[in-house]
Amino acid sequence: MNFTKHINQAARWIAISILVLVMVSWVLSLAVSFDVVADVNPDQGGVGPSDKHWLGTDHMGRDVFWRMVTGSDAFVGPGLLACGVTLLFGVPTGAIAGYLGGIFSSIVRFLYGVLGSIPRFVLVLVVCTIYGNDPSVIALTAGIAYAPALGEAIYERVDRMRREDFVKAAKAHGLSQSDILFRQILWHNCRRLITRHCLFLFGFYLVLESTLSYIGDFGVEEPNPSWGNMLAFEFGETAGNALAWLGPAFAIWCTVLAVAITTDHLSEQRRA
């Protein structure tokens, strides 16, 4: 029993470290103006790790490490934006629907059902073909596509507390409606839930963006780096530096795993 506990503990620490690393690399990519796009040295292509290039170069001679760092910009920024969008669309609608009940909640949940029935990835693809590859647009779409899931979760919790006379008792005690809904219910009871969902969306966005870039005509286009397109670009190259594609692949895998572990850790075990 103890053994499992220690493994879980270790996993959590590693997961959080990975996420921190990702955020650091994002900040770095915004701050550092390292030219990873144009610094093309074909004659130095496919070289392994060295002092100058920590992870070697890709087949066009560009530094893999710094391309990876810059590549994090492709999903972290928009990922956070997607989270913001989903919070904006999901939380108020779910909370008010749960609080008021009646026709309003029926309508809201119907809309959730309609929107939620469209596969998220397909929706993003469609939007991309119409509006092009602007990451903000992709983020917005992903955020809206995820909002029903978050909204439904919030609705369920708020509705349950309303039915359990919690809201009535709080009113009887002299609390205002806004205090009840926003502080009592959302803040004290839904924080973990919201964090879990946002984390999930963040991980989802990474996979989404990587897939789009990997496919090619969507997402981030060459020569700008993204973990997805680095993977696509280097995967076929048999000769040369394997790290050029292993690096981004491993990075994607680790980050998604870290998100999963952290989300799981945040699940509410307190509730009996």
Partner 1 sequence: MKPYVEPPLRLEGITKFYRRGLFGKADAEPTLDDVDLTVHRGEVVGLIGESGSGKTTLAQVALALAPIDSGTATVLGSNLHSLPHRTLQRFRRRAQLLFQNASAHLNPGLNVVQILGESARLHRPNTPVKEAVDEALAWVGLNHRRDAFPFQLSGGECRRVGLAKVMMARPELLIADEPTSGLDAGLKAELIDLILEQHTQQSSLLIISHDLPLVKYACSRVVVMLAGRVVERFATATMGQQTHHPYTNSLLAAAGMGQPSPEQQTGATTSLRNGCPFVEQCPAKTGPCTSVRPLPVQLGPEHEVACHALGDDS
Q: Does 103 bind partner 1 (CB under 8 A)?
A: yes
Instruction: Kindly indicate which of the ranges 66-74, 137-145, 215-223, 264-272 contains the residues binding partner 1, using the contact rule CB under 8 A.
Output: 264-272
Neighbouring C-alpha atoms within 13 Å toward the C-beta of 24: 6
**Smaller CB separation from partner 1, 45 or 94:** 94
Residue 49: cis peptide before it, omega within 30 degrees of 0? no
What tokens appear for 136 in the block?
């903000």
Q: Does 52 bind partner 1 (CB under 8 A)?
A: no
Quick check: 90 and 154 in contact, CB under 8 A? yes
The single residue among 8, 9, 136, 176 that binds partner 1, judged by CB under 8 A, is: 176
* Integer Cα distance of 143 and 89 in angstroms: 8
Q: Does 195 bind partner 1 (CB under 8 A)?
A: no
Q: Does 217 bind partner 1 (CB under 8 A)?
A: no
Q: Does 178 bind partner 1 (CB under 8 A)?
A: no
Determine phi and psi for 57, rounding to 5 degrees.
Answer: -125, 160
Determine phi and psi for 49, rounding to 5 degrees.
Answer: -60, 140
Q: Which of 222, 252, 218, 247 is nearest to 235 (CA)?
A: 247
Question: With CB under 8 A, what is the number of residues at the site for partner 1?
Answer: 21
Q: Does 1 bind partner 1 (CB under 8 A)?
A: no
Q: Does 184 bind partner 1 (CB under 8 A)?
A: yes
Quick check: 91 and 151 in contact, CB under 8 A? yes
Instruction: Kindly indicate which of the ranges 73-81, 158-166, 224-232, 240-248 contains the residues binding partner 1, using the contact rule CB under 8 A.
Output: 158-166
Q: Does 25 bind partner 1 (CB under 8 A)?
A: no
Write out the residues near partner 1 by the rule CB under 8 A: 102-103, 106, 161, 164-166, 168-169, 171-176, 184, 188-189, 270-272
